[in-house]
Structure 1
Amino acid sequence: MPQPQCSQDVERQPTVLSSWIKVLLLALRDHGCNADLLLQESGLDHEQLADPDARLPLAATTRLWDLSVQALEDETLGLWVPCYSNQNTFHALGYAFMASSTLLEALQRVARFNAMVSDAARVELDVGENSVVLSWDLWTPDLGPSQEAMEAILSLILRSSRKIRGKDFAPLKVSLLRKRCADETPFREFFQAPIEFGADRYRMEFDRAELEQPLEWGNESLARSSDRVIEDYLKQLEMGSVATRLRNLLVRDLPGGALGHEHYARELGMSGRSLQRKLSAEGSSFNQILNETRCELACSYLGQTPRQSLTEIAFLLGFSDTSSFSRAFHRWTGVAPGAYAP
């Protein structure tokens, strides 16, 4: 029989690394825009940008990009904003990219570590016999990223590649979601390649042989060292989520009975309202985390040999009696505890 799922995947709201937004603000100021006003109108503030490792809500950063395009009246914004970035913008990823032994390795790092920049898209690198395609599949198109934000990512990758391969380096083909352009010339001149407008996803296709040519300034030791820094950052990013920290506290406390969200908010160093807001930003809630944690533990206990009694399991999960536990377990999984087979 199909096994019940004890927990559902939490649909987190995508985020963007704050240092990438600092690049946009720098570009806006240099072009005479009131960047502070646009930042405020987007729902962001300077306090959120103070930490270079901070994560910003994708919806708010998309709003900032949209406001920037309106303020400058420039649909090519994404092509030139990366001029204001540097090797530190994406921390260790920038160093790993530039120290790669080949451009193929550099693009492999882009696909592998994309979540460091933003978890708004699934990035794939398809290595074929003669060509290599780097593509982005957006998770939540309704939240963003904006067209200009994604075009800025493609522009940054191409500009970085040209720094280490030469100014004439170009893809074989580029695909953009943008359907119409008042003037396509700036896009074609920048990419130096045929462009498919109105595509179903963002893509850049390259000649494989060209990507596999050794890079003069490749440094495998530096690149791998940077890889480890990125891996540690991504691990901390997952460990640092409020939902994960709350789940750990609940596992500790459930045998004695779970306490209210205000109690756990204090343990996490925030107000009850802040806890609710942060969990909501991660696509979850206190009750959802509580139920998921109880269900995961219940499935674990029921799968042990010898199996503990339902009374003991109910106690370990903080239920007042067996019948309450049984009703809850059936609601979570669709089967009674006694019928559960791991």
Structure 2
Amino acid sequence: MPHRQAEPGQAPTVLCSWTKVLVLALRDHGCDADALVAGAGLSLDQLAAPDARLPLAATTDLWREGVRAVGDESLGLWVPRYSSQTTFHALGYAFMASSTLLEALRRVARFNVMVSDAARVELHCDDRSVTMSWYPLAPELGPALEAMEAILSLILRSCRKIKGRDFAPEAVELMRGACRDEQPFLEFFRAPVAFGAPRYSMRFERATLEQALEWGNEDLARSNDRVVEDYLQRLELGSVATRLRGLLVRELPGGAQGHEHYARALGMSGRSLQRKLSAEGTSFNQLLNDTRLELARAYLGQEPRQSLTEIAFLLGFADTSSFSRAFHRWTGVSPGAYAS
């Protein structure tokens, strides 16, 4: 789902708690982290508020100075060891409570803007594989190579917490050019790594990502989704599509409304809503269908599963037959066949 990136003239930002992880790692490795923070134009007071936003340019300087201080170009691979479940707000809990790793990665893609609005994220799925890709909007300004590698490292570490230490992608792409020692990267990812790529990406086997997770809890995951959506809406960081999706999730059990209703709730006209959604590569009807399909898959995957009548109501359909026809149109199978 598309997200609004930083507007022209608006400097991109980074979630403060992510930068704090870097500071903790530098301190633990004997660096004068306080001096490095000050040298990057930041203050310790700024780092004290976990939900605050920091300028991307300053955090990029801090990462680059951190590499020099530690003398390790693989810094990004091990910094995430200092992160915690709360580093990325409620997203960390939503990730760990997802019903499958594919759903977890979908959440990362959807809420990437919460971490930083400096890169576009795409999740491409085909019959055999799933590729998650990051495209920095202005690589010359940041993020630092190590900052992006840390994101990939954190996601992979989180997947390994769920699936086990042997979990690995099929292939990895990094924008870093030739490095002094490729071995740490090969050993960490346990997969072929292409350096000097035009993007950052990890490719996974789809069948593995779609396996049900023993401790998955979609109710808990969706509850944390709403916390993230509220955070983005308060800061107006999320795209119009993200904000509209949050409204749909909350209001669909009361019945689907026309786009004018949601436009008023977002403080704009219906025409303005349609125009903004079009600029983000989507439309009201597409977003409504995508949201309903995502929720339907989650409801159908729950154990014990709710009845089709209950699911139809939760998705704002007038009756079960309307839901069944829509689901077949979206997926090519009936809700019952999908859940079996």
Query: Residue 10 of structure 1: CA displacement?
Result: 3.9
Query: Residue 11 of structure 1: CA displacement?
Result: 3.8
Q: Aligned partners of 2:193, 2:84: CA distance in 1, in Å? A: 26
Query: Residue 47 of structure 1: CA displacement?
Result: 1.5
Aligned counterpart in structure 1 of residue 89 of structure 2, from 88, 91, 102: 91
- The amino acid across from 2:208 in the alignment is E
Aligned counterpart in structure 2 of residue 80 of structure 1, from 63, 67, 78: 78
The runs of 4+ residues in structure 1 deviating greater than 3 Å are: none
Q: Aligned partners of 2:70, 2:158: CA distance in 1, in Å? A: 25
1:142 alignment partner in structure 2 = 140
2:104 alignment partner in structure 1 = 106
2:175 alignment partner in structure 1 = 177
Query: Residue 181 of structure 1: CA displacement?
Result: 1.4
Q: Aligned partners of 1:77, 1:172: CA distance in 2, in Å? A: 22
1:270-309 matches, cutoff 5 A: none
Larger radius of gyration: 1
1:206 alignment partner in structure 2 = 204
Q: Aligned partners of 1:179, 1:46: CA distance in 2, in Å? A: 33
Q: Aligned partners of 2:139, 2:145: CA distance in 1, in Å? A: 10
Percentage identity across paired residues of the two chains: 69
Deviations for 1:180-205, whole angstroms, at most 9, x for unmatched residues?
11111110000000000000000000
Q: Aligned partners of 1:69, 1:126: CA distance in 2, in Å? A: 32
1:304 alignment partner in structure 2 = none
Query: Residue 239 of structure 1: CA displacement?
Result: 7.7
1:168 alignment partner in structure 2 = 166
Deviations for 1:64-114, whole angstroms, at most 9, x for unmatched residues?
000000011100100000000010100100000000000000000000000
1:326-341 matches, cutoff 5 A: none
1:1-12 matches, cutoff 5 A: 10-12=8-10
1:336 alignment partner in structure 2 = none
Contact 2:113 2:237 in 1 (8 A): no
The residue matched to 2:162 in structure 1 has which SS?
A: helix
Q: Aligned partners of 1:130, 1:203: CA distance in 2, in Å? A: 16
Q: Aligned partners of 1:201, 1:13: CA distance in 2, in Å? A: 21
Query: Residue 139 of structure 1: CA displacement?
Result: 1.1
Q: Aligned partners of 1:24, 1:80: CA distance in 2, in Å? A: 10
The residue matched to 2:122 in structure 1 has which SS?
A: strand
- The amino acid across from 2:51 in the alignment is D
Query: Residue 207 of structure 1: CA displacement?
Result: 0.3
Tell me, which stretches of 5 or more residues in structure 2 are unaligned?
A: 1-6, 239-267, 273-340
Tell me, which stretches of 5 or more residues in structure 1 are unaligned?
A: 1-8, 241-295, 301-342
Residues 99 and 133 of structure 1: CA distance in aligned 2, closer, same or farther (over 3 Å): same
User: What is the TM-score normalised by the length of structure 1?
Assistant: 0.67
Deviations for 1:209-266, whole angstroms, at most 9, x for unmatched residues?
00000011101110000000000001011189xxxxxxxxxxxxxxxxxxxxxxxxxx
Q: Aligned partners of 2:207, 2:226: CA distance in 1, in Å? A: 28
Q: Aligned partners of 2:68, 2:53: CA distance in 1, in Å? A: 24
- The amino acid across from 1:50 in the alignment is A
- The amino acid across from 2:33 in the alignment is A
2:43 alignment partner in structure 1 = 45
2:21 alignment partner in structure 1 = 23
Residues 43 and 134 of structure 1: CA distance in aligned 2, closer, same or farther (over 3 Å): same
The residue matched to 1:91 in structure 2 has which SS?
A: coil
The residue matched to 1:88 in structure 2 has which SS?
A: coil
- The amino acid across from 2:166 in the alignment is D
1:71 alignment partner in structure 2 = 69
User: What is the TM-score normalised by the length of structure 2?
Assistant: 0.67
